[in-house]
């Protein structure tokens, strides 16, 4: 099987599995317990926290463990909104965020907050001028993803961070698609809040973190014990967090080299695709992107049919967001970039990862060319 | 007995895909794909599914009150392609009366079932066929009223 859907999830790194198995077998105590077993678990957790902090470039106490990228996004948005309700009611985000952010903003809107969803240009980059213009003295939070999950297009978060800092507005970055994939230090991002998730970087599901920089106002959204400095109640998923720490460490060690390798492979894939299949379009390819992602429109054919054609040939790819499978609405991200509904429906995301070799991509191009040619003979548009 | 080594849900094996063998077969080898020429065409139907963006074109050639030839083209998901193809096999060679009575359930039955969220796809072919049959009526009336 050829797996080209690494933006949806990634397989566990063997060393991550090993670290988790050891933890589950030996360090099963509750880190909050007052005895030696609990103390041991607490030390293991502290070490995991330090490893993540060291790998990403933040303080250990700034790492707030939680269960998923979605929860991290929820904590960031709802937590700041709640903390700063008295100061203002306006939140700025982009129209191409993951549903974890967009739908949370919808919910906050129903609670009475005003939301600005800043549009993107045809390459999928947020309109930074429009974002700047939208800021008011009522703005209490800006939330912008580091890289889009469907196109891989990087957003100008450093610039936005500067803008936010000058006005004293907390800034949240959903870095689920970039943490451990791009060689960057958290402090260079300049964001007060950063979401990351284990299973996008060869770690486990159910383990994620919101990085909360010192001084960022935040209220918890779960009430209970005083875990995670009172910001996230609930007995910690220790094995998951150990796995997350190992995964972050391994990913960050490799990030520079692996991102160069993937960029070369992605460019090879796109060159081959363009020459093998007439009429296709690469979405966001003129913009800066994460190196592993390619989003391609095949006009006149349906993405789901291409996916099945490839699946039958043993190749796993996806349309945009895995969350929307079963939803007939085509990608909101591509629609925001100006693609027609039908072109959005005829688009695929290929996301490369550690297991990807050039031969896999050559086989994929061949299978895609065959499938698309077959579907083009059938198509009515 | 030989042990079954493939587990349910394993990629590349039936249970991993939400489609029946029959549906996959129609998706991979759709029947009656293409268009009929102007001269051959007695009825033409074009329908779209506004809910999901799928579209189907269907041509019929009729003589002796029977559908002698049928051809289709579809833009859409695997469900739309497979049900379009299955519909044409159900309609081919049928009398016009029989063709009018074909339902989406007949199409689904021929395919051995379809995932619940794809049920609406199976209507595409049936609606295209009804549209082509109506178009034939219209053409006949136009011919009859022509001097």
Instruction: Give the residue-averaged pLDDT of B98-115.
Output: 95
Mean pLDDT estimate for chain A: 95
Categorize the per-residue pLDDT at A374 as very low, low, confident or very high, splitting at 50, 70 and 90.
Answer: very high
Of the candidates A1, A305, A380, the beta carbon closest to that of B55 is on A380
Q: What would the two tokens of residue A379 be? A: 């198509």
Instruction: Give the residue-averaged pLDDT of B92-112.
Output: 96
**pLDDT at B102 exceeding the cut of 70:** yes
CATH of the domain at B100: 3.90.1010.10
Instruction: Give the residue-averaged pLDDT of B49-61.
Output: 86
Tracing tokens 């060319």 back to the chain, one arrives at A369
Domain hosting residue B134, numbered range: 20-139
Mean pLDDT estimate for chain B: 88
- Does A328 reach chain B within 8 Å, measured CB to CB? yes
Alpha-carbon distance of A59 to A182, in angstroms, equals 20
What is the reported pLDDT for B147?
67
What is the reported pLDDT for B145?
85
Cβ pair A31, A38 in contact under 8 A? yes
In 10 A of CB A201, how many CB atoms?
Answer: 26
Cβ pair A114, A90 in contact under 8 A? yes
Domain with residues A2-7+255-378, CATH architecture: Alpha-Beta Complex (3.90)
Alpha-carbon distance of A10 to A352, in angstroms, equals 10
Instruction: Give the residue-averaged pLDDT of A109-114.
Output: 98
Asked if A381's CB is within 8 angstroms of B33's CB, the reply is no
**pLDDT at B13 exceeding the cut of 50:** no
Q: How far is B147 from chain A (nearest CA, A)?
A: 35
Three-point CA angle A302, B59, B91, nearest 5°: 95
Residue B1 in any domain: the answer is no
**pLDDT at B70 exceeding the cut of 70:** yes
Q: What would the two tokens of residue A40 be? A: 């041991």
DSSP chain B: -----SPTT-TTSGGGSSS-HHHHHHHHS-SSBS---TTT-SEEEEEE-TTT--EEEEEEEEETTEEEEEEEEEES-HHHHHHHHHHHHHHTT-BHHHHHT--HHHHHHHTT---GGGGGGHHHHHHHHHHHHHHHHHHHHHHHH--
> Counting every residue, how long is chain A?
381
Categorize the per-residue pLDDT at B51 as very low, low, confident or very high, splitting at 50, 70 and 90.
Answer: low
Domain ranges of chain A: 2-7+255-378, 14-251
Residue B48 in any domain: the answer is yes
Asked if A1's CB is within 8 angstroms of B53's CB, the reply is no
What is the reported pLDDT for B10?
45
Indicate if ipTM > 0.95.
Answer: no
User: Phi-psi category of A228—alpha, beta or left, where left has phi over 0 and alpha has psi -120 to 50?
Assistant: left
Alpha-carbon distance of B17 to A248, in angstroms, equals 33
Q: Which fold has domain A14-251?
A: 3.40.640
Residue spans of beta strands (DSSP E) within A191-313: 193-197, 208-212, 281-282, 293-297
B57: chain A residues, CB-CB within 8 Å: 380
Q: What would the two tokens of residue A372 be? A: 């698309």
* pLDDT tens digits for range A218-255: 999 999 999 999 999 999 999 999 999 999 999 999 99
Q: How far is B80 from chain A (nearest CA, A)?
A: 9
What is the domain count for chain B? 1
What is the reported pLDDT for B9?
43
What is the reported pLDDT for B117?
83
User: Phi-psi category of A284—alpha, beta or left, where left has phi over 0 and alpha has psi -120 to 50?
Assistant: left
**pLDDT at A124 exceeding the cut of 90:** yes
């Amino acid at each position: 099987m050829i797996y080209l859907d690494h933006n949806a999830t990634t397989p566990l790194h063997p060393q991550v599995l090993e670290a988790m198995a050891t933890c589950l077998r030996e360090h099963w105590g509750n880190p909050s317990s007052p005895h030696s077993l609990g103390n041991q678990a607490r030390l293991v957790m502290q070490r995991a926290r330090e490893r993540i902090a060291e790998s990403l470039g933040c303080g250990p106490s700034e790492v707030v463990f939680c269960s998923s990228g979605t929860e991290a996004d929820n904590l960031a948005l709802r937590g700041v909104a709640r903390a700063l309700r008295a100061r203002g009611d306006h939140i700025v985000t982009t129209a191409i965020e993951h549903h974890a952010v967009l739908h949370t903003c919808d919910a906050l809107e129903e609670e009475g907050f005003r939301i600005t969803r800043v549009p993107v240009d045809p390459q999928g980059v947020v309109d930074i001028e429009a974002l700047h213009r939208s800021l008011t003295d009522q703005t209490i939070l800006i939330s912008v993803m580091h890289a889009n999950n469907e196109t891989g297009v990087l957003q100008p978060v450093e610039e936005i961070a500067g803008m936010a800092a000058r006005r004293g507005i907390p800034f949240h970055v959903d870095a689920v698609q970039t943490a451990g994939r791009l060689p960057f230090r958290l402090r260079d991002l300049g964001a007060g809040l950063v979401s990351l998730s284990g299973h996008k970087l060869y770690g486990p599901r159910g383990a994620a973190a919101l990085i909360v920089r010192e001084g960022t106002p935040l209220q918890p959204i779960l009430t209970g014990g005083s875990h995670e400095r009172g910001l996230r109640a609930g007995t910690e998923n220790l094995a998951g967090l150990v796995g997350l720490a190992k995964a972050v460490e391994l990913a960050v060690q490799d990030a520079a080299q692996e991102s160069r390798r993937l960029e070369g492979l992605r460019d090879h894939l796109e060159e081959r695709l363009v020459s093998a299949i007439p009429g296709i379009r690469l979405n966001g390819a003129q913009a800066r992107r994460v190196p592993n992602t390619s989003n391609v429109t095949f006009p006149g054919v349906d993405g789901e049919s291409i996916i099945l054609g490839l699946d039958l040939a043993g190749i796993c790819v996806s349309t945009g967001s895995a969350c929307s499978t079963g939803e007939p609405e085509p990608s909101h991200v591509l629609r925001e970039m100006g693609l027609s509904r039908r072109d959005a429906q005829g688009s695929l995301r290929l996301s490369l990862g550690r297991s990807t070799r050039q031969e896999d991509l050559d086989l994929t191009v061949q299978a895609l060319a065959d499938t698309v040619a077959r579907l083009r003979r059938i198509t009515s548009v | 007995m030989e042990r079954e080594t493939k587990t349910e849900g394993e990629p590349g094996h039936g249970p991993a895909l939400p489609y029946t063998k029959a549906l996959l077969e129609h998706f991979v080898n759709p029947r009656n794909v293409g268009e009929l020429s102007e001269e051959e065409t007695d009825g033409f139907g074009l329908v779209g599914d506004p809910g999901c963006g799928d579209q189907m074109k269907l041509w019929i050639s009729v003589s002796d009150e029977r559908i002698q030839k049928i051809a289709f083209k579809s833009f859409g998901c695997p469900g739309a392609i497979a049900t379009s193809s299955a519909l044409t096999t159900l309609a081919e060679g049928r009398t016009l009366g029989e063709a009018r009575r074909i339902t989406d359930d007949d199409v689904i039955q021929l395919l051995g079932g379809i995932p619940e969220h794809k049920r609406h796809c199976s209507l595409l072919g049936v609606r295209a066929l009804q549209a082509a049959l109506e178009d034939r009526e219209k053409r006949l009336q136009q011919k009859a009223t022509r001097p």
